[in-house]
């Protein structure tokens, strides 16, 4: 985990330099205790009678990660797809000894869309064996306030004017406190839990149910 956080920090320094910011610009946002999560995800083969998927061929539907960076290790089974700016779905074919890096919504907002969050999905696999992926989500401390990033005009001009995504624009998280975005993001990922214990408004505000 520590090594993967080191990879993410190096990427953040490279991004800062690409925006003509000091290399350590984002360090204060992450601090010494960034919000880091790791998941080990199993996608069963479609031929498994017990785990047979009922979601019309999608292991995970189109979505964007709500945070900053995701460092993903995938096996050789395949199934991950990403959506291009033109709206085309393409395979993220596994390459040995590499990681897939997904950009999250908070980072898209912070960089004024110079870096656009990755719309991605997972197709149910027909390989006859389990698919395993291990994502590490590298994000700021939950109480961190997003810094004011002043991107030079010449770099802003390079940002894509239009990006087609199956994730609608109004769904993007916009709060300046990272932890609020994280909580709202969890409400999208775990709908049944939040329907049982919380009230989520159309504007995205979340409060605990009474009684």
Tokens at 136, concatenated: 């590490």
Q: Is the pTM of this model over 0.85?
A: no
Secondary structure class of 205 (helix, strand, coil): coil
Q: How many CB atoms lie within 10 A of CB 163?
A: 17
CATH of region 2-167, choose from 2.60.120.330, 3.40.50.740, 3.40.630.30, 3.30.450.90:
2.60.120.330
> According to the model, what pLDDT value does residue 109 have?
86
Give residue 49's pLDDT: 53
- How do residues 40-82 score in pLDDT, each as one tens digit? 998 888 765 555 545 445 578 888 998 899 999 999 999 999 9
- Give residue-wise pLDDT tens across range 103-143: 998 899 889 889 999 999 998 777 678 899 999 999 988 88
Q: Is 6 helix (H, G, I), strand (E, B) or coil?
A: helix
The pLDDT value given to residue 133: 94
Asked whether residue 8 carries a pLDDT value surpassing 90, the answer given is yes
128 near 140, Cβ under 8 Å?
no
- Looking at residue 185, its pLDDT comes to 72
> Are the C-beta atoms of 122 and 77 separated by less than 8 Å?
no
- Does pLDDT of 20 surpass 60? yes
Q: What is the pLDDT of residue 182?
A: 76
Note the pLDDT tens digit of each residue in 135-184: 999 998 888 888 888 899 999 998 888 888 988 765 556 677 877 777 77
Q: For residue 23, give both structure tokens.
A: 């290399």
Query: pLDDT value at position 138?
Result: 94
**What pLDDT does residue 135 have?**
96
pLDDT at res. 211:
62
DSSP string, 40-67: -EEE--TT-TTT---STTEEEEEE--SS
pLDDT of residue 57: 57
Q: State the pLDDT at residue 97.
A: 93
* pLDDT of res. 186: 72
pLDDT above 60: residue 98: yes
């Amino acid at each position: 985990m520590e090594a993967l956080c080191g990879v993410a920090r190096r990427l953040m320094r490279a991004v800062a330099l690409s925006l003509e910011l000091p290399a350590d610009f984002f360090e204060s946002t992450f601090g010494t205790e960034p919000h880091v999560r790791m998941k080990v995800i199993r996608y069963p083969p479609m031929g498994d009678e017990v785990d047979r998927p009922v979601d019309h061929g999608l292991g995970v539907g189109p979505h964007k990660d709500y945070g900053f960076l995701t460092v993903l290790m995938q096996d050789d089974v395949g199934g991950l797809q990403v959506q291009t700016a033109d709206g085309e779905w393409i395979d993220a074919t596994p390459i040995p000894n590499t990681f897939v890096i997904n950009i999250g919504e908070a980072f898209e907002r912070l960089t004024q869309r110079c870096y656009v969050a990755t719309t991605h999905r997972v197709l149910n696999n027909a390989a006859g064996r389990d698919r395993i992926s291990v994502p590490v989500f590298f994000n700021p401390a939950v109480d961190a306030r997003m810094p004011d990033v002043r991107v030079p005009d010449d770099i802003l001009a390079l940002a894509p004017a239009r990006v087609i995504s199956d994730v609608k624009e109004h769904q993007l998280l916009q709060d300046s406190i990272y932890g609020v975005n994280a909580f709202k993001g969890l409400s999208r990922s775990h709908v049944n839990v939040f329907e049982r214990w919380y009230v989520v408004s159309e504007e995205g505000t979340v409060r605990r149910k009474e009684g």
